[in-house]
Amino acid sequence: MPQKGLTKTRWTIDDARIIIYPYRVFLIFSVVLGVLFGGLLFLFTIVERSSANTMGSVALLLAAIVILFLAYSRTQIIFDRATGTMQQKILGLIPVRNIPFDRLHGVNTVTQQYGGFNFRIFSKNNKYGKGITISSGYGKETDPNAVAFSQEVIPLIHEYIAQYAPLTEHTNSTITAYQYFNENAGVYTLKNQKAGTIIMGIALLALGIHECTGTPWMKTDSSTGRIVLLLCCFGLGLIFLLAAFTRIILNPAARTIERISPIGLGNKKYAFDDFSGFRTVRKSYNMVYAGTEVQMYFTPPNVKQPQIVVVSTIRQSRKIERFIEEIKSIMEK
């Protein structure tokens, strides 16, 4: 059981419970902050000669922050088979969540926008939402701690859930009308919301062209700054326009999926038989959620690394679930 390392996920398993410690990285944060805050207090005491009352108040505030991080590092996620519930407890004592197993969907891998992944558990009514983190973050799938967690803990969690939620509850109804695909002669093309993308692309190109005239809006003597601006305008403008006219096509008869660019750049084609699963990547900009990227993974013969096709970016969990079910339905035809 590879549970070494201060930042790695730890867990214990007994006859009726799984206890997971997913936030151990906050132990490092609390130590670093403790040292940093201690140094700052020493500096202000010796150099600035601040009053005892002032320093006492500041010390209590900083100590509270360190204790908060330390307490969070001891957070437990408890799966209790006897009570049929999942609990989240701060310090292992203070319950902040208590969810019955019959409301849980299962554990899935969530890939981060800037690389790495962790394991999260999702509820039935929000299968592709934010989820609840039940592991630390990992940089690669071969991490020994991640492998052990996926082999020892996740199957047991699903076994616990299945005891309270029979698999028959998850049977999908047949899809006859598709919301995200247009069908023509048995071939399904992903609908593309072109209008907004085209407008954005044209606006960027227009801005770039305007900045090349004799009356640019950007008044600067720096040729480097102007070149960077023009490259961004023209580059991003072309990217938006190409994205507007790129097609994703699923052909059940040929059992293939294709990504076709109008200029042939980045074209891809894979067989359904090489499909190895879906991945979702939650994207955010400046801490604001911007949608979830739905990816399809393929493992063609004689290819070491999985090949990825980004099929869409969708915001709402129920829409993501419907979108994935439509793809599955088409691939099963």
What are the sequence ranges of the domains in the chain?
10-168, 176-190+247-333, 193-245
Read off the pLDDT band of 168 (50, 70, 90): very low
Burial letters 44-79, b for 16+ CB under 10 A, else e: eeeeeeeeeeeeeeebeebeeebeebbbbbbbbbbb
Which has more confidence, 270 or 56? Answer: 270
pLDDT value, residue 274: 93
**Cα gap 136→118, rounded to integer Å:** 6
pLDDT at 50 over 70: no
Residue 126: which of 150, 147, 110 has the closest Cα?
Answer: 110
d(CA 288, CA 63): 30
For 253-262, what is the mean pLDDT?
91
Q: Which has the higher per-residue pLDDT, 20 or 306?
A: 20
- Bridge partner residues of 310 (DSSP): 295
Q: Please give the Cα distance from 301 to 11 (Å, whole number).
A: 36
77-99: average pLDDT: 91
Cα gap 212→62, rounded to integer Å: 53
Whole-model pTM over 0.85: no
CATH placement of domain 176-190+247-333: 2.30.29
Residue 167 pLDDT > 60: no
What pLDDT is stored for residue 85 in this prediction? 94
Strand order across the beta sheet in which 256-260 lies: 181-184, 187-190, 247-251, 256-260, 268-271
pLDDT, residue 54, reads 61
